[in-house]
Structure 1
Amino acid sequence: MNARLLLVAAIVAEVIGTLALRATIDHRAWIAVVIVGYVAAFTLLGLTLRSGMSISAAYGIWGASGVSLVALLGMIVFGETLSPSALVGIALIVVGVVLIETDPRRAEPGSVQDVNV
């Protein structure tokens, strides 16, 4: 399966699990969704790595996307607020991951530069 699709699925599962974690404050039954969400997220992240994506790319995108989406969806779903500085922080997270992942000098997985000596 395509590594990018697996990564998107891992991000969606992690975001669902994290939002359900917040929902457990009001209704304990959401804990089942938390467990399924996190198990699915880590399973899909493992499959993403197995399909050839580097851990730095997969984890960077997964982490940044998860933090950003949970913060934004927390505003929509739970009425939480984000300060202007928090919104700038989210933007910086996204820009940082994009800059790291699009660096042309970054070694390809399995290359001589990628091997720790």
Structure 2
Amino acid sequence: MWFWLAGAIVAEVTGTVALRFSDGFSKLWPSVIVVLGYGIAFYSLSRALSGGMPIGVAYGVWAAVGVALIALIGAFFLGESLSWVQVGGIVLVIAGVLALELGRTSHAA
């Protein structure tokens, strides 16, 4: 399950970065990468869900890690700004997903 979720995250982040370079879908190859990235992301996410991963955990991890990676890629490689407030928000999102996962584990025990 986690393998498929990791694949979904990588594919979604790849598609999102390509979206930045697609220039409104006017550039062919970045646009193709966007479509493939999101297609693979949703397929991989569906495989994680069909493997038994709870949807709240899967979507929460997918969204949180995706947001964090995109923000970091934007800041370190694309020259975008990242304020301390935004960094704090990313930490809070990740903490929320961690709480979802820990709550699931303790509830199942």
Q: Please say if 1:28 is aligned against 2:27.
A: yes
Which runs of at least 4 in structure 1 moved beyond 4 Å after TM superposition? none
Q: What is the aligned length?
A: 106
For 1:96 and 1:43, the matched residues in 2 are separated by 25
For 2:107 and 2:78, the matched residues in 1 are separated by 39
| 1:97 maps to amino acid | V
For 1:100 and 1:55, the matched residues in 2 are separated by 11
Under a length normalisation based on structure 2, what TM-score does the superposition of the two structures give?
A: 0.89
RMSD: 1.7
For 2:66 and 2:101, the matched residues in 1 are separated by 16
Highest Rg: 1 or 2? 1
Provide the residue aligned with 1:12 in structure 2.
10
Is the CA contact 2:56–2:100 (under 8 Å) kept in the aligned structure 1? no
Q: In structure 1, list runs of 5 or more residues that go unmatched.
A: 109-117
Under a length normalisation based on structure 1, what TM-score does the superposition of the two structures give?
A: 0.84
**Bigger share in helix:** 2
SS of the aligned residue for 1:102 comes to: helix
